[in-house]
Amino acid sequence: MAELHGESPLAARAETLAGSSVPGAVQLSEVAFTAQITLRVDPKSPAAERIGTAVGTMLPNQPGQVARTEQLQILWMGPDEWLLVGPEGSAGRIQATLAEALGEDHGSVVDVSGNRTIVEVTGPRSRELLAKGCALDLHRRSFTSDQCAQTLLARAGVVVLCRDADEPSFWILVRASFARYLADWLADAAAEYRDRTRQAASVRTLANGSDR
């Protein structure tokens, strides 16, 4: 096998995302090829406990809670559903770990790595940018670091993950087929920051050149 991966869903929008990034406002980029595994298991079962031990952290049991290990982020997606996000190439390993811990008990482990890609949104204007299409309250008082939510961003179903509430950083997990739409929407929503930068620059020029 040649290189591990082929073409990510947003490879064709890399320039769009980079071009929409505005220093001091927002940065947009794709985090491609992560391993993503959906786990379904009864949270009160011994199997859930064994899985917790195997992955190195208990499965989060609060809505929208995210647990982290060195390698993994474990997103609470429902009362008996989690999404495990790991580094590129680790899908097989994660599945094996989960399957072994699950043993013969009822539960399911499904590789969904190709199902969604991730758009990383960082910068001081991140929340405002997302608020243009997301009805959830993303304020740091209500949506803190290591919290996630399944919601709509514009018209695409997404998982929003707050990676850092202080230095705003979000991951938007989006279905591969919707990724370009979402990238285009984000670029459009971020356009005002670029425009603002341009205007600020022209105002400065004006200020320097006149007695205003």
- Which residues lie near another protein (CB under 8 A)? 1-2, 5-9, 12, 32-33, 38, 40, 106-108, 110-116, 128, 131-137, 139, 141-142, 154-156, 175-178, 180-182, 184-185, 188-189, 191-192, 195-196
Q: Which is nearer to another protein, 70 or 104 (CB)?
A: 104
Determine if residue 79 is left, alpha or beta; phi over 0 gives left, psi from -120 to 50 gives alpha, anything else beta: alpha
List the strands of the sheet with 147-153, edge to edge. Answer: 27-31, 116-122, 169-175, 156-164, 147-153
Q: How many CB atoms lie within 10 A of CB 202?
A: 10
Cβ 82 to another protein, closest distance in Å?
12
Cβ 204 to another protein, closest distance in Å?
17
Q: How many CB atoms lie within 10 A of CB 212?
A: 7
Cβ 50 to another protein, closest distance in Å?
18
Q: Which is nearer to another protein, 56 or 126 (CB)?
A: 126
Tokens in use for 35? Answer: 């391993």
Q: Which is nearer to another protein, 70 or 141 (CB)?
A: 141
Cβ 192 to another protein, closest distance in Å?
5
State the DSSP string of 51-116.
HHHHHTSPPP-STTBEEE-SS-EEEEEETTEEEEEE-TT-HHHHHHHHHHHHTTSSEEEEE-TTTE
Cβ 5 to another protein, closest distance in Å?
5
Q: Which is nearer to another protein, 1 or 209 (CB)?
A: 1
* Tokens 């482990």, located at residue: 109
Q: Which is nearer to another protein, 135 or 208 (CB)?
A: 135
Cβ 206 to another protein, closest distance in Å?
14
Q: Which is nearer to another protein, 67 or 134 (CB)?
A: 134
Closest CA to 35 of 82, 95, 79: 95
